[in-house]
């Protein structure tokens, strides 16, 4: 019987990428609308948009690396350096997204007194940090498993 879990996860990853792209387009249109409604904040539109696109792009890159890791899993290449590198790259992409989120927090805190969005930015930073640590832990386990496999000439 065929395992459908990788197929379901692939579909989920593709849906996530499409949702992020759609939200990026909506964010672009929303930025113009907010600039018209609040002209005193219109100078923030472009820098915030660029920072938000950085978060979106970093997240999409992390999802693409997750797709590659899933392909390794499908080929039954679990304890390999390729899977280790893909998981490390997912974590690095999430760290880059965290940097963009921190810049969003700093920029909005400087320009807007007591922005409520900084609360949500902090939640996203925490979520991305925990997620990146989980992927680093899994990558480390895979790396150590591969190292033990080579040292002891085991079949895992």
In this prediction, residues 37-47 reach a mean pLDDT of: 87
Q: How far is CA 50 from CA 24, 27, 117, 150, in A?
A: 11, 11, 17, 45
- pTM of structure: 0.87
Query: Residue 52 contacts by C-beta under 8 Å, 6 or more apart in sequence?
Result: 24, 27, 100, 104
Give the chain's length. Answer: 156
pLDDT at 1 over 60: no
Write out pLDDT tens, residues 79-137. 888 999 999 999 999 999 999 999 999 998 888 877 787 889 999 999 999 999 999 99
119 alpha-carbon distance from chain centroid: 19
Hey, where are the domains in the chain?
5-152
């Amino acid at each position: 019987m065929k395992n459908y879990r990788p197929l379901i996860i692939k579909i989920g990853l593709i849906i996530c990428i499409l949702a992020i792209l759609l939200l990026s387009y909506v964010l672009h249109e929303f930025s113009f609308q907010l600039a018209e409604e609040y002209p005193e904040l219109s100078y923030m539109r472009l820098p915030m948009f660029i920072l938000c696109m950085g978060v979106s792009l970093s997240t999409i890159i992390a999802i693409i690396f997750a797709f590659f890791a899933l392909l390794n899993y499908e080929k039954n290449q679990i304890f390999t350096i390729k899977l280790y590198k893909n998981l490390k790259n997912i974590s690095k992409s999430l760290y880059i997204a965290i940097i963009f989120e921190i810049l969003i927090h700093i920029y909005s805190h400087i320009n807007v007194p007591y922005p409520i969005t900084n609360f949500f930015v902090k939640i996203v930073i925490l979520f991305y940090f925990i997620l990146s640590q989980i992927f680093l832990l899994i990558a480390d386990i895979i790396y150590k498993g591969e190292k033990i496999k080579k040292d002891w000439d085991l079949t895992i």
